[in-house]
Amino acid sequence: MGRRLLLISNSTLHGGGYLEHCTDQIKTFLREVKRVLFVPYALHDRDEYANIARKAFKAMGYELDSIHTQPIPIEAVKKAEAVFIGGGNTFRLLTTLYKEGLVDEIKHRVEQDGVPYIGSSAGSNVATFSINTTNDMPIVYPPSFLAINLVPFNINAHYTEPAPGSTHMGETREARIKQYHEYPDAPPVLGMREGCMLLVEGDKATLMGQNGAKLFVRGVDPKEIDMGADLSFLL
């Protein structure tokens, strides 16, 4: 069946509601799916987070079950028609995925069973090789920075350039990603601006949405990526 991923940079785009900017892409992506398993581990208030996600998916025509209400989380993953991992703190999210023994099971369901995977922000980060290029503060410490590894590169969600005329002297996102690439084994990093998303179907990857992305590869000048670009070479 092959992997099917929809990796979204952000859950909410300025001027719209939760997942409103990517509703059409989600509905096209899920196809015949009826129920979605939601993973709210990136935020502290899981009940409230699940309510927000449930409302959004109900409006799209899907039922949503939150994994935090299931007696045995790994069994919920084994039975899931589709998995959606929401945004929040990436370190909190990955820590809990490891604690519940879900990293390998999610990878198996997506790669071997073809279960659709949707990630937003932190949920997109953990779908990649590692969380080394997340913007979040390490409020907790996961057993490893290695993530689910559904794709062999990293994402920097909410990627942004300095505002014109800014006097801020802190390091830019680009500078920090280049520091990551000072290490020889560091994989490529896709800086996804808000509003864009990456569709992966088998060995094909396509940039979708709006606002584009920036690709960082060790030893190569950063490259702007336009909507509709084929990024299959990253796989």
158 tagged catalytic: yes
- Over residues 53-69, the mean pLDDT reads 98
pTM of the model: 0.96
Residue 15: its pLDDT value, please?
84
Residue 42: its pLDDT value, please?
98
Percentage of residues in the chain having pLDDT higher than 70: 100
State yes or no: pLDDT of 167 exceeds 90.
no
C-alpha span between 2 and 8 (Å, rounded): 19
Record the tokens describing residue 193, joined without a space.
């601006």
Cβ density class 42-79: b for 16+ within 10 Å, e for less: bbeebeebbebbbebbeeeebebbbbbeeeebeebbee
Q: Of 120, 189, 204, 179, whose CA–CA distance to 154 is shortest? A: 189
- Over residues 90-108, the mean pLDDT reads 98
Torsion of CA 211, 232, 221, 10, to 10 degrees: 30
Distance of CA 139 to the CA centre of its chain: 19
Length of the chain counted residue by residue: 235
136 tagged catalytic: yes
Residue 165: its pLDDT value, please?
80
- Over residues 113-131, the mean pLDDT reads 98
Give the bridge partners for 83, in sequence order.
Answer: 37, 117
Please tell me which residue in 9, 120, 121, 130 is annotated as part of the active site. Answer: 121
State the average pLDDT for the chain.
96
Please tell me which residue in 66, 124, 136, 181 is annotated as part of the active site. Answer: 136
State yes or no: pLDDT of 213 exceeds 90.
yes
Give 93's pLDDT tier (boundaries 50, 70, 90): very high
8 Å CB contact between 225 and 217: no
Q: Which domains does the chain have, with CATH numbers?
A: 4-161+170-234 (3.40.50.880)
- Over residues 193-215, the mean pLDDT reads 96
Query: Do β-strands 154-157 and 189-192 pair in parallel, antiparallel, or remain unpaired?
Result: parallel
pLDDT tens, residue by residue, 16-49: 899 999 999 999 999 999 999 999 999 999 999 9
Residue 166: its pLDDT value, please?
79
Residue 163: its pLDDT value, please?
79
State yes or no: pLDDT of 161 exceeds 90.
no
C-alpha span between 110 and 82 (Å, rounded): 9
pLDDT tens, residue by residue, 75-90: 999 999 999 999 999 9
185 tagged catalytic: no
